[in-house]
Structure 1
């Protein structure tokens, strides 16, 4: 190729230069470099700032001719070329050259766009947050070996090293919409993984580079965990955290549970047989807990605040009304809710009941 370029350059300098550019990018593609390396190499070759942007994730990479990340304000592009994959535009590449574009700029960007498309195809799709459920199951499955798991994460677009946030989700909203809300500036992949136990509703999984717990929309229940070096363990912890969610606390991080997470390990038969849990379950029976389920609502508020007045504030009731309800609850549960032991037993019973499959 070099010998051909030398011969052609004697006849037509443009043709010789174009062949050298093609050979340059062929070498980069054989080396399987990532987007950052492609941008740095292009900036060095063009002797100006080069940029890459992927539409699906919003990721933008800009590099200076010195081989460093360009952090200054983006200047107007002198030349822009779209990046296409499977006949779909997934991004764009450009040069920020002062003055007029050079003769070989379009050739350079055409090859850069091809190299970016090849990198995206190799390391994972970027157009949408939805992912192949089989690939997500491989990434978080307990039976997956380390090699297959690493390959699945790479195909999903996650680089080795930084921890991946894993979210177990129950929602009627589209998972890709939820993912875009909680991780608007980073990579996020979503997949529906079916039911999570007998009688359970559909379960969704989100894998993301970052998660904003406060960005989940109304009506979404979510359990959060991070992978560290154990994606399968993170998925298990996220599903455990999901079981602890309530209407008042729809998003729960596994790290916030502490020793409470151990309650998820209690066998269902043992939990149902416990007198305290059985008493809480009876409160959930229509008509047994008062009008509109006010008994359970009062118990939850009191267990969450450990104070009659704070529970009254949460329920928007007078404290005397809450106090009267707690007396009735104490008789129904056979507990003295005004003592630390009684309150602890009520909290544990309420939590264990929430973990049962038939609890609302």
Structure 2
């Protein structure tokens, strides 16, 4: 995991090493002041010290040698209470991860004072590129069997805050492509102002998105823009849209992440590869339409309108006919549908006329357009790959 993290984000790899170091110390069952300070000094590559309220003191250099006397130059420290503290003695300015090291050193030191360790802090990293996550931790976060305590611990180890809400995103790509890598690439282009953790769960890319702004909007628009990113060239964007589908879950308390994951998987069934606009489906935007996903696929496939759409899709260029119908139902405008599909409006008009003749609809009639949209949803849900 660290090798993959290093390839994606060197800072993320270092932060994971720091957290893993102190988690190992806390879980060893044999933590003492000397081992804590000596190991911290080695990790930080500078002298470190500790002073506990009961008078115990320790100070070690980065090479593991005990240092006598008082600290010479404290570069950064953290208080343990009214009379305790931990510190680092780094020549020059503090290192980029000194604050994270001291936070976790203080957590470990407080356990030596006889009290329980406080909740682990969120790693002091601003929103940035998506980071690869440990699949086992992601499984804990989404588990129905684990306790709230265990899920909160897994969230902290992932660098997330259990007290802040989050969203889940499901990404599905081509069968031969690693869905986790697809998700990392997509979320990297989206540049969300959030902490993003990505792993692969079977054929899905599984994504946790947590924004410091608890009222943050859905990431769906940014993800659609990332699918259709023109900077990569039209051919690359079209290829991405042809093979990528994304489902966005709703905002939920972090300990209920599995609820958002279920919503993301439901939304994924409504997503259609091929159109940047429809490649990303947002559960919140679906509203009551999401209830259609509760109907068995075989019942949806048996609807006469869904069968008629299947017949249209099987004709030459039938996929473009279905895409034109979907774009028109969504926008209600011939010209907007044509612009979205990069077709001339007369071409879209001809395809819609073919649909009207085959199914007996008048698509300018809102009621008929509503029936067409429901038929599209039914066909989509009946044929969506797992």
The alpha-carbon distance between structure 1 residues 183 and 138, as it changes in their structure 2 partners (threshold 3 A), is farther
Alignment match of 2:98 (pick from 58, 79, 93): 93
Residue matched to 2:92: 79
Q: Does 1:17 pair with 2:43?
A: no
Residue matched to 1:205: 206
Deviation of 1:176 (Å) = 3.7
The alpha-carbon distance between structure 1 residues 323 and 181, as it changes in their structure 2 partners (threshold 3 A), is closer
Q: CA RMSD in A?
A: 4.1
**1:240-251 equivalences in 2 (<5 Å):** 240-246=266-272, 247-249=275-277, 250-251=279-280
TM-score normalised to the size of structure 1? 0.62
Deviation of 1:299 (Å) = 1.2
Alignment match of 1:297 (pick from 323, 339, 344): 323
Residue matched to 2:309: 280
Alignment match of 1:270 (pick from 292, 299, 320): 299
Distance 2:207 2:102 in 1: 31
Q: SS at the partner of 1:168?
A: strand
Distance 1:141 1:152 in 2: 11
Residue matched to 1:115: 105
Give the number of aligned pairs: 273
Alignment match of 1:347 (pick from 364, 373, 381): 373
Gaps of 5+ in 2: 1-51, 58-66, 109-116, 212-217, 228-239
**1:84-163 equivalences in 2 (<5 Å):** 91-93=96-98, 112=102, 115=105, 129-163=131-165
Deviation of 1:205 (Å) = 0.9
Provide Cα deviations, 1:199-254, integer angstroms capped at 9, x if missing partner. Answer: xxx20111122375454433243222222252111111111222222323233322
Gaps of 5+ in 1: 6-13, 32-37, 51-76, 83-90, 95-108, 195-201
Determine which structure has more spread, i.e. the larger CA radius of gyration. 1
Distance 1:174 1:313 in 2: 27
Deviation of 1:350 (Å) = 0.7
Distance 2:280 2:384 in 1: 20
